[in-house]
Homo-oligomer: A and B are copies of this chain.
Amino acid sequence: MNSEEIKDHIYSMGKKARAAALKLSQLTEVEKASILRAMARAVREATPEILAANTKDIEAGEAKGLTGAMLDRLRLDANRVDAIAGGIEQVADLPDPVGEELEKIDRPNGIHITKARVPIGVIGIIYESRPNVTSDAAVLCLKSGNATILRGGSEAIHSNRAIAKALQEGGEPAGLPDGAIQLIPFTDRESVQVLAGMDKYLDLIIPRGGKGLIETVVSLARMPVIKHYDGICHAFVDTAADQDLAVAIIDDGKTQKPSVCNALETVLVHKDIAEEFLPKLEQRLKVRGVEIRADEHALKILSDAKAATDEDWVTEYLDLIIAVKVVDSIQAAIEHINEYSSQHSEVIITRDDVAANQFLTGVDSACVYHNVSTRFSDGEEYGFGAEIGISTDKLHARGPMGLKELTSYQYRVTGDGQIKDKARQDALLSTQEA
């Protein structure tokens, strides 16, 4: 396809999505749940087609020399397809956020204002290689009354098409509006550019993926973007820390699943306990096979660490590597975090509630923890039922984004003829009568 054709195609999808969004906003909780259940059934029934499509992607990926980790993210099997369907059923069971009355205001002049939750409209989701996102994102948007335009990565195109087809063909007989879930069927880079410029039809764009993708979307987008940047998460071990607990939290944060965004990347240790604590930490991390990159001060205490460079403070390793730095005070820890973190998740380990409070209110990140592993930064762990991702932005949605964060609101005002200036009209009417 040439540029003009790509643009025309995506704009016609946008127009369809806008029409679908209006219909979606009027669906009841029961109607949406029954559509979602039909979609889940259709995904289960389409397992053979989805796996066949996935095999094509895997073969193409192997031929292209994708790494094992990338192929693993891409690979589906019967259990994973079943988990996708199960995820849809879970979302069907969540309470419908749309229509919720967020506030009621009665004004002295007799007008009644209701702040009501409404869908956002049309949401564009740009993602990379995991094919389950096709379903997860579309289904959360549908439950919250939004239409979606999905643009997945080229590696997963066959799988994404097969999943989107099952969702559409399963949903439409059950009342899914035409155009409510659309997948861009090609993966030209230009499609990202077109989507980002289509503010006429797209109310929000959510890029999920690497820094490069997000940067591209941010620089092109004319509509709001909710970024899901990487997680450069910190643990600060205070003088008053329970040191065994600190070791446990850092071990969990670094080694339990190093490839995720809420894993730890940097440990800051108060200078007064560094000599006592760092050897304990090193011992545990050694067993776990973690490489330590240490600042000058920590390097003197640790027996087997490499020297950290400036690059280490801004790197999301996603691997068994951790940066360690000794700081002079809790304030110095807060300043380091506010300078280098990605504003995702940070933890203080301390028995001192005053220090904890200083940390929790001083650190400018989405999720701040006291004596709890950062690995809990997750919509399900927060009780949201499901999440579309973790926002590292500060506007509209911050931290785990659940169904509520996929909605907007509207003020509905009722009265019995209130006007701004009644005296002015009364004066006019009395002149006319006179």
Contact = CB atoms under 8 A, between A and B. Distances in A.
A411 interface: yes
B419 A365 contact: no
Contact of A411 (B107, B375, B382): B382
Contacts of A225: 224
A210 B367 CA distance: 38
Nearest to A105: B383
A112 to B, nearest CB: 9
Contacts of A249: 417, 419
A357 to B, nearest CB: 9
B424 A120 contact: no
Interface string A386-422: 0000000111101110000000111111111111110
B411 A399 contact: yes
Q: Which of A199, A249, A425 has the most CB of B within 10 A?
A: A425
Contacts of A428: 287
Given A113-B382, A408-B394, A415 B365 contact: no
B417 A248 contact: yes
A320 B408 CA distance: 33
B256 A421 contact: yes
Contacts of A164: none
A106 to B, nearest CB: 9
A361 interface: yes
Nearest to A372: B415
Most chain B CB inside 10 Å of its own CB: which residue of A218, A245, A287, A376: A376
Contact of A395 (B395, B410, B416): B395
Given A26-B362, A368-B410, A242 B417 contact: yes
Nearest to A219: B222
A364 interface: yes
A307 interface: no
B418 A372 contact: yes
A111 interface: yes
Given A224-B224, A366-B411, 15 more contacts: A107-B382, A120-B395, A218-B222, A248-B419, A256-B424, A257-B420, A287-B432, A368-B410, A370-B415, A371-B414, A373-B418, A395-B395, A398-B408, A398-B409, A399-B411
29 contacts: A22-B364, A107-B383, A118-B364, A120-B395, A121-B364, A203-B394, A203-B395, A204-B395, A218-B222, A251-B425, A252-B419, A256-B419, A256-B424, A356-B414, A366-B410, A367-B411, A368-B411, A370-B412, A370-B413, A371-B415, A371-B418, A376-B413, A376-B418, A376-B420, A382-B411, A395-B396, A398-B408, A398-B410, A399-B410
